[in-house]
Amino acid sequence: MNDLKQLEKRVGVKFKDINLLRQSMVHRSYLNENPDFGLPHNERLEFLGDAVLEIIVTEYLFIKFPETPEGDLTNWRASLVNSKMLSLVAQEIELEGNLYLSRGEAKDSNSKARQYILANAVEALIGAIYLDQGIKKSSEFVHSKIISKLENILENELYLDPKSKFQEKSQALHKTTPHYKVLSETGPDHDKIFEVGLYLGDELVCRGQGSSKQEAQVDAAGKGLKEKKW
């Protein structure tokens, strides 16, 4: 496990109470195996950090883009604070090596589950910074690590989810609304894998897979954008 002092350097915050930083890294599963650890898990800090993150990002967008409609601002904010973005931030600051996880959770290679754990830890970290240093330092971290990614998001329209983007392009270029069809369902009820086809009219553009129909559709739309070079 990495030294918390090194994590402080990567985060850019010198904590007055290092236990706040430590607690932000504690997953619930760790305490099941280590009940005498001495600190709670990070879910309350995550709850706080989520609110702090949202107000910092919302205030920035509100002030920076005075002419932009509320709907667009909502999409832009969502693209900055979603689990995919926050897990990317976690990777950039090499946070995973500092997580306190159960042995089973540490070995779990489920990338989706790990993405949520990392994203939640970033929110908990923001909560810890806020309690230890206040809104100014929290804002510096959020601007440096998260809001700094907005330019790339806007430039590449990453605030549009793949399904929305594929539909916009297909309607603009082909005057056609894409549709999705479930091609197969495999696996037991608690662990199903869906395969869906993405169609433009009768044309099967590509296939997508996921643990839900929605996830499979998003996968298909992402592949469809690459297939069509959109």
CA dihedral 127→128→133→137, nearest 10 degrees, is -60
The values of phi and psi at residue 184, to 5°, are: -165, 155
Give me the sign of the Cα torsion angle 64, 68, 70, 73: negative
Q: Which residues are catalytic?
A: 50, 123
Q: Measured between alpha carbons, how far is residue 56 from residues 80, 141, 155, 170 in Å?
A: 11, 10, 22, 35
217/204 Cα distance (integer angstroms): 13
Find residue 64's DSSP bridge partners. none
- Nearest residue to 142 via CA among 5, 12, 8: 12
Sequence-distant (6+) residues with CB within 8 A of 36 are: none
Q: Chain centroid to CA 84: how far?
A: 3
